[in-house]
Amino acid sequence: MMKQYPYINQKLLLLSLTPFIIFISCNTNTETKSQTANEIPISIAIVEEKSFDNTIELTGTFFANKEANLGASMPGKVEKFHYKPGSFVNEGDLIVELSAELLTQALIEYEAIKKDFERVERLYKKGSIAEIEYDHLKAKLEASEVKTEMIRKSTSVIAPFDGIIVEYLIEEGENYFFNFNIEPGYSNTSGILRLMQLNPLIINIEVNEKDLKYIKEGDIVKVICEAYPELNLEGRISYIKPILSTISRTATVEVSITNPNLKIKPGMFARVLITRSEQNAACVPINAIYRQPGTPEDYVFKISNNTAHRTRINRLKTIGSWVAVDSVKIGDTIATHGKNRLVNGSKIKITN
């Protein structure tokens, strides 16, 4: 009978340990299920190296090479237009005449003073009058001459450069009183007419500070006119503003382009393409990029050890369905589908 006790004890011991084994097993399964439940299912992609034509595309507007609102230095009545709107004029051409009453008066006064001076000059040479009287009349004549010339200039409008009369800002016969023409994008100074030089034209573009190192004055660039996309246009960088905007961190760059047939008009929309050398870069699928809501900041989630690591990136170039970016390396694993559910440090489960 005593020999059966060990057997009974072993059986009792096994029966007593069974609930603990079942409890431990259930607890382990629960923890595994809980851990699995916390993993976010995602699809992944591998960062690839791609080459692309590193071209900067900027938008701008065509403007006249030279522009001026021409008027007179004094108010007056517009007597005559010598050219119609749209006419081409050469530098120095008389375009507009104003009323000449003041000029006529000034000329009469000048002629009278001139005769008096000639008479006094003869007497002075003979020694009949004092030098002070001669000097006084000479100064008066010179002042009258300056006054007459000033009034002469105020009664006519002369072309300061070759160009086209775009429009008259007042009508013939009206009085000119330093009227202002306010039109966005163009000169709003006082004037009687607007004169523009339309060949060549210029395009003003804003170049980001990081791209300024790739351009210099004299560089040839491709230009696309949205109104005439079939035209094969080339421009030349003629001026780079030496300071940047403190708000946009861009510099104004001027591109000059020939316009011999005057087909392109000021105000038309332009695109300027500045071509740089071919470049290789790390690229990610466009659907891997996550934008922080309410901000312009872009991110990707790098995956390592089944954990998501949020990484801020900057877009360099879009190449079809891929985007060249910084802050990642070729061969990195990144999240695509399911990325919107991730936060930094999320545990993930790869489904593809």
Note the pLDDT of residue 2: 46
Residue ranges of alpha helices (H) inside the chain are 5-38, 101-126, 131-154
Helix/strand/coil percentages in the chain, nearest 5: 30, 40, 30
pLDDT of 31 > 60? The answer is no
Say if 40-55+279-350 and 57-63+200-278 have the same CATH topology.
no
| Confidence tier at 210 by pLDDT (50, 70, 90) | confident
Q: Which residues contact 146 (CB under 8 A, 6 or more apart)?
A: none
Distance of alpha carbon 68 from alpha carbon 181, whole angstroms: 12
115: which residues sit within 8 A by CB, 6+ positions away? Answer: none
CA–CA gap between residue 135 and residue 69 (Å, rounded): 41
Q: What pTM does this model have?
A: 0.59
At 180, is the pLDDT very low, low, confident or very high (cuts 50, 70, 90)?
low
Candidates 110, 94, 98; CA nearest to 147 is: 110
Using alpha carbons only, give the angle 157, 160, 162 rounded to the nearest 5 degrees: 115
Q: Amino acid letter at 141?
A: L
**pLDDT tens readout for residues 276-334:** 767 889 999 999 999 988 888 999 999 999 999 999 999 988 888 999 999 999 999 99
Give me the CATH topology for the region 40-55+279-350.
Answer: 2.40.420
**CA-to-CA distance for 18 and 39, rounded, in angstroms?**
32
Q: Which single residue is written with the structure tokens 């900067």?
A: 56
| 215-221 long-range contacts, CB within 8 A, separation 24+ | 215/240, 215/253, 215/274, 216/240, 219/274, 221/255, 221/272, 221/273, 221/274, 221/275
Q: Which CATH number describes the domain made up of 57-63+200-278?
A: 2.40.30.170
Residue extents of the structural domains in the chain: 40-55+279-350, 57-63+200-278, 100-154
The beta-strand segments (E) located in 213-347 are 220-225, 228-240, 250-257, 269-285, 290-291, 298-304, 307-313, 315-319, 322-325, 333-335
SS3 121: helix
pLDDT of residue 13: 46
Burial class (CB within 10 angstroms; exposed 0-12, middle 13-18, buried 19+) of 190: middle
Is the pLDDT at 142 greater than 70? The verdict is: yes
What pLDDT score was predicted for residue 12? 47
Contact 222, 275 (CB under 8 A): yes
d(CA 280, CA 21): 59
pLDDT at 34 over 90: no
Kindly indicate the confidence band of residue 23, based on its pLDDT and cuts at 50, 70 and 90: very low
**DSSP secondary-structure letter at 327?**
S
Question: What was the pLDDT predicted at 257?
Answer: 96
The answer to whether the CB of 253 falls within 8 A of the CB of 239 is yes
- Give CA 54 to chain center in angstroms: 19
Query: Would you say how long the chain is, in residues?
Result: 352
pLDDT for 287 equals 95
What CA–CA distances, in Å, run from 308 to 49, 136, 332, 346?
22, 95, 12, 5
